[in-house]
Amino acid sequence: MDFRTTYSAYQNNSNIDDQSLIQAYQDYHNAYQQKTCLYNIIREHKRSILIIYNTETETQEIKILKTSQPIDQWTCVAQLPNGKLFCFDHRRVSGIAVLIDMNGEVKVLPSGTSCKYSSCIYFNNSVYCFGGFSNRFLTLSSRFDLYQNRWIQLAPMPKADETCNSVIFNGNILISGYRSKNLFLYSIDINSFSTITYEFGAITRKVLISAERLYLIEFGGSIYESEIGSYMNWRRLVDLTIINPSQVYCVYNKGGIYAGLDRDHYFKFDLNEKKLIAL
Are 102 and 219 contained in the same domain?
A: yes
Report CA 31 to chain centroid distance, whole Å. 13
Question: Would you give the DSSP letter of residue 178?
Answer: S
Are 101 and 156 contained in the same domain?
A: yes
Separation of alpha carbons 200 and 213, rounded Å: 17
pLDDT tens-digit map of 115-160? 777 788 888 889 998 888 778 888 889 999 999 999 999 999 988 8
Are 12 and 118 contained in the same domain?
A: no
Are 11 and 70 contained in the same domain?
A: no
Q: 243 falls in which pLDDT band (50, 70, 90)?
A: low
Model pLDDT, residue 56: 84
Separation of alpha carbons 257 and 1, rounded Å: 33
Are 55 and 175 contained in the same domain?
A: yes
Q: 32 falls in which pLDDT band (50, 70, 90)?
A: very low
Domain that holds residue 174: 34-278
For the cut 60, the answer to whether the pLDDT of residue 53 exceeds it is yes
CATH code of the domain covering residue 60? 2.120.10.80
- Residues in a beta bridge with 210: 214
Tell me the one-letter amino acid at 43: R
In the chain, the number of structural domains is: 2
Are 127 and 21 contained in the same domain?
A: no
Ordered strands of the 59-64 beta sheet: 37-44, 47-54, 59-64
Separation of alpha carbons 142 and 121, rounded Å: 11
Are 1 and 83 contained in the same domain?
A: no
Dihedral pair phi/psi, residue 176, rounded to 5°: -115, 145
Separation of alpha carbons 127 and 123, rounded Å: 6
Q: What value, to the nearest 5°, has the Cα angle with vertex 129 and ends 65 and 245?
A: 70
Are 68 and 172 contained in the same domain?
A: yes
Are 103 and 6 contained in the same domain?
A: no
Separation of alpha carbons 63 and 273, rounded Å: 34
Are 132 and 4 contained in the same domain?
A: no
Q: What is the pTM of this model?
A: 0.81
Separation of alpha carbons 75 and 42, rounded Å: 8
Are 20 and 95 contained in the same domain?
A: no
Are 177 and 271 contained in the same domain?
A: yes
Model pLDDT, residue 34: 47
Calculate what percentage of the chain has a pLDDT beyond 70. 76
